[in-house]
Amino acid sequence: MRIGVLLNERGGADALSRLADDVRQAADDGFPSAWLSNIFGIEALTALAVAGAGVPGIELGTAVVPTYPRHPAVMAQQARTTALALEGRLTLGIGLSHKVVIEDMYGYDFGRPLRHMREYLEVLVPLLAGEPVSFTGETVKGQIGFSVPNEGRVPLLLAALGPKMLKLAAERADGTVLWMTGPTTVRDHIAPTITAAAEAAGRPDPRIVCVLPVCVTNDAENARERAGEAFAVYGTLPSYRAMMDREGVAGPADLAIVGDEDAVAARLETLAAAGVTDFVAAEYMPGEERERTRAFLKSVTVK
């Protein structure tokens, strides 16, 4: 299981320069990958193109960019341009986001998410491979091609939790990227569903990228309490709530990987045994605990 890190969303006028420092630090620390969310701060693809262009050797991924606000051709053009800036080191992670964001904030209809994503990929996937596309669906249309001079295609991950979305990720993408999903759910639901679908479609074994909060500490109770506060909103979103119910946990605090080095190592081993191919650590505690967490993650990183 490869170990990567989640980059912190930066604020302030120097956000991009500080993000570049974080990318370089992740590379210097030996992590094979670093990932950036696209929420309400800096735009992830643009930020990675700027911050990662001068840092060779590390995979940079989005976890994840919402689909609805971007036509798939726009997503493809931007992703290929970012991949060009990063010399082919980009992995594009995309997802539906949530009804509260897409309908209440952006004003798009969230009524048919599976059809939306299936048709979105009909346009996106060929364009990521540098091929022109001609497609007319019920929710998406695309008659276009691009001349962005990439070599090869941009790898694609789909945020998928339900069986139908996991099947789609297996058939049309390179795997899935998860958040707030625990080891039991990965073992019993995510991994067998997406792996069987990939095998049935004649596709390679899918990547299963799992992002979870991590803190190496002697005060596990406090770390869990802080995780519960920091990530409380995710317990209210239906898609994540469904995964927590599958896992049998009350909320995000119970999914955070906390404890001393041995305890955290054991949790990581459980994730690897469940089928996770890439674990991405969301380091959420400040100060000495953050330094201790990073030191531990460096010690277990395998390129």
> What are the pLDDT digits (tens) for 37-79?
999 999 999 999 999 998 999 999 999 999 999 999 999 999 9
- pLDDT band, residue 9 (cuts 50/70/90): confident
pLDDT above 60 for 196: yes
Q: Where are the alpha helices (DSSP H) in 4-149?
A: 15-28, 44-52, 72-85, 99-101, 113-128
Q: How far apart are the first and last CA of the chain?
A: 9
pLDDT above 60 for 303: no
State the residue range of the domain holding 111. 1-159
pLDDT above 90 for 85: yes
CATH number for the domain spanning 151: value is 3.20.20.30
Q: Give me the pLDDT at residue 43, please.
A: 96
Q: Which residues contact 75 (CB under 8 A, 6 or more apart)?
A: 65, 67, 92, 94, 124
Residue 188 inside a domain? The answer is no
Q: Give me the pLDDT at residue 225, please.
A: 98
Q: Structurally, how many domains does the chain consist of?
A: 1
Over the stretch 212-241, which tens digit does the pLDDT of each residue have? 999 999 999 999 999 999 999 999 999 999
Tokens 């991950």 map to which residue?
157
- pLDDT band, residue 10 (cuts 50/70/90): confident
The verdict on pTM exceeding 0.85 is: yes
- What is the widest separation between alpha-carbon atoms in the chain? 57
Rg (CA), the chain: 19
Residue 269 inside a domain? The answer is no
Residue 249 inside a domain? The answer is no
Mean per-residue pLDDT for 112-120? 98
Residue 18 inside a domain? The answer is yes
Residue 253 inside a domain? The answer is no
Q: Which two tokens stand for residue 182?
A: 């625990």
Residue 150 inside a domain? The answer is yes
Residue 29 inside a domain? The answer is yes
Residue 13 inside a domain? The answer is yes
Over the stretch 117-148, which tens digit does the pLDDT of each residue have? 999 999 999 999 999 999 999 999 999 999 99
